[in-house]
Chains A and B, each alone.
Chain A
Amino acid sequence: MTIFHIGIDLGTSRTSITTSTGRRLTTITCVGYPKDVISRKRFGKEYLLGSEALENRLALDMIWPLAEGVICEDEKASEATGIILKHIITEALPEKKETDHIYAAIGVPAQASIKNKKAILEITTDFIKKVLIVSEAFAVAYSIDRFDECLIVDIGAGTTDLCRMHGSIPEKEDQATLKAAGNFLDHELTKAISEEFPDVQLTPQIIKRIKEKHGYVSNVSDPVEVTLTSRGIPSPYDITDILRESCLKLTDPICKAIQDLVGTFDPDFQEKLRNNIIIAGGGSRLRGIDTAVERSLQEYGGGSAVCVQDAEHCGSVGALKMCMEMPEAYWEKI
Chain B
Amino acid sequence: MLVIDYVLVLAGGVLWELWRSEKDTRDMQAKAADAKYEKAFAKLKTELDALAAEKIDVSDQLSQLQEKLSELEKSRPGIPEKTFYAHSGMFAGKPCQPAKDSRKWEILGQIMDDNIKLRAETEIRATRVYNEGETLNDHFSHRD
Instruction: Please report A residues at the B interface, Cβ cutoff 8 Å.
Output: 3, 5, 18-28, 43, 45-52, 87-88, 90-91, 94, 114, 117-118, 121-122, 125-126, 129-134, 147, 167-169, 313, 317, 320, 322, 324-328, 330-331, 333-334
Contact digits for B69-112, partner A, Cβ 8 Å, 1 yes 0 no: 00010011111101111111111111011110001111111111
Verify if B53 is at the interface (C-beta below 8 Å from A): no
Complex CA gap A47/B88 in Å reads: 28
**Given A48-B78, A51-B83, A133-B115, A330 and B108 touching (CB < 8 A)?**
yes
Known A21-B91, A333-B112; further 8 A-B contacts with Cβ < 8 A: A23-B88, A24-B87, A27-B83, A125-B139, A134-B111, A168-B110, A317-B90, A326-B112
Residues of chain A lying within 8 A (CB to CB) of residue B109 = 330
Verify if B116 is at the interface (C-beta below 8 Å from A): yes
Complex CA gap A97/B98 in Å reads: 24
Q: Which residue of chain B lies nearest to A32 when distances are taken between CB atoms in the complex?
A: B78
Q: Which residue of chain B lies nearest to A129 when distances are taken between CB atoms in the complex?
A: B144
Verify if B125 is at the interface (C-beta below 8 Å from A): yes
Residues of chain A lying within 8 A (CB to CB) of residue B112 = 132, 326, 330-331, 333-334
Complex CA gap A46/B87 in Å reads: 28
Verify if B134 is at the interface (C-beta below 8 Å from A): no
Shortest distance in angstroms between B104's beta carbon and chain A's nearest beta carbon? 6
Number of residue pairs A-B, CB distance < 8 angstroms: 136
What are 7 contact pairs spanning A and B, CB under 8 A? A18-B89, A52-B78, A168-B110, A169-B107, A325-B99, A325-B104, A334-B119
Instruction: Please report B residues at the A interface, Cβ cutoff 8 Å.
Output: 72, 75-80, 82-94, 96-99, 103-112, 114-116, 118-119, 121-122, 125, 137, 139, 143-144
Q: Are B108 and A49 in contact (CB under 8 A)?
A: no
Residues of chain A lying within 8 A (CB to CB) of residue B91 = 18-22, 320, 324
Residues of chain B lying within 8 A (CB to CB) of residue A18 = 89, 91
Complex CA gap A32/B108 in Å reads: 38
Q: Are A333 and B116 in contact (CB under 8 A)?
A: yes
